[in-house]
Amino acid sequence: MTDIRVWVDGARVPADGPAVSAVDHGVTVGDGAFETAKVVDGRPFALTRHLARLDRTMAGLGLPPADHDLIRAGVAAVLAGEPIAFGRLRWTVTAGPGPLGSDRLASRLTHIVTAVPHERPAPSGAVVTVPWVRNERSATAGLKTTSYADNVVALARAQEQGAVEAVFANTRDELCEATGSNVFVVLDGVVRTPPLSSGCLAGISRALLLEWCAADGLEVREEDLPLDVLQRAEEVFITSSIKDVMPVSAVDGRALPAPGPVTAAVQGVWARHAERTDDP
């Protein structure tokens, strides 16, 4: 824990010390939003897009807007000093001190920024499906909230089986997303991914990949897909802010090429565009 750099409401604080009120609504009921971005050579990637998505989550929760200038100050504070070669940058904004129940005050938001070195992702990994579902009609569908218990339970199930991710269906038994990744499949040689109406998060890497593939003439279709497409797909890959484009080597034990030729082409598109700027 001591290697985690922590900043709370304007000041660097020890990672293992008290810094947030015990009655903060983010602590008591998970009332808050967060974003995670990768850090490469001390620089955050896609910071502006992550801040914009934070705004959407805060609005969806009915919370006041977060202070972007304050967050940027926190980012600068935790990235100062010895550059992080590769790492995870996270900022969390909660509703602040409030009642112990679900009603809130939201009179003073809490802003937290953290950064930590992170191992570079493996070149590929296995995934498993889990019996729990995403509710595409939930009040928080598509929002990146701090209420992550479902993801914690599902990811623990996946890791027990030697997988790097757990994949959810939605209530219509359609492919939705993984705990912290968007899912893409290659079927009949075409890349396909669930639409946002499936209940999946509007991933930053997902959006960039859609834009960059379109720019390079590589077709990616957003369409409703049954969960069992994972058992028919020729290739599968996942995207996230830390993993970028990760080929999936197996789904529920069914081996897949990792990467297959289409996924390799997608990785090439990602690499060409991502190297152009830190803030696409």
pLDDT tens-digit map of 211-237: 999 999 999 999 999 999 999 999 999
Find the mean pLDDT for residues 198-209: 98
The pLDDT value given to residue 105: 83
* pLDDT value at 2 more than 70: no
The pLDDT value given to residue 1: 57
Q: Residue 234, Cα to own-chain centre: how many angstroms?
A: 25
Judged by phi (left if over 0) then psi (alpha if -120 to 50, else beta), residue 104 lies in: beta
Quote the CA–CA distance of 208 and 280 in Å, as a whole number. 8
Domains recognised in the chain with CATH numbers:
5-117 (3.30.470.10), 125-275 (3.20.10.10)
The pLDDT value given to residue 61: 97
pLDDT-derived band at 26 (thresholds 50, 70, 90) equals very high
The b-or-e profile of 103-134 (16+ CB within 10 A means b, else e) is: ebebeebbbbbbbbeeeebeebbbbbbbeebb
CA angle 258, 259, 265 (to 5 degrees): 165
63's CB contacts (< 8 A; 6+ apart) are 31, 32, 33, 93, 95, 106, 109
The pLDDT value given to residue 21: 92
DSSP result, 245-277: EEEEEEETTEE--TT-HHHHHHHHHHHHHHTT-
Tens of pLDDT along 144-187?
Answer: 999 999 999 999 999 999 999 999 999 999 999 999 999 999 99
Other CB atoms within 10 A of residue 223 CB: 14
Mean pLDDT across the chain: 97
pLDDT-derived band at 18 (thresholds 50, 70, 90) equals confident
Give the DSSP H or E segment for 114: strand 110-117
* pLDDT value at 106 more than 80: no
pLDDT-derived band at 107 (thresholds 50, 70, 90) equals confident
31's CB contacts (< 8 A; 6+ apart) are 25, 61, 63, 94, 95, 98, 104, 146
pLDDT-derived band at 62 (thresholds 50, 70, 90) equals very high
Note whether 144 and 33 are within 8 A (CB): yes
- Which of 5, 14, 39, 33 is CA-nearest to residue 113? 5
- pTM value? 0.96
Find the mean pLDDT for residues 15-29: 92
Note whether 221 and 190 are within 8 A (CB): yes
The b-or-e profile of 238-264 (16+ CB within 10 A means b, else e) is: bbbbbbbbbbbbbbeeeebbbbbebbe
Note whether 144 and 57 are within 8 A (CB): yes
* pLDDT value at 38 more than 80: yes
* pLDDT value at 123 more than 60: yes
The pLDDT value given to residue 121: 96
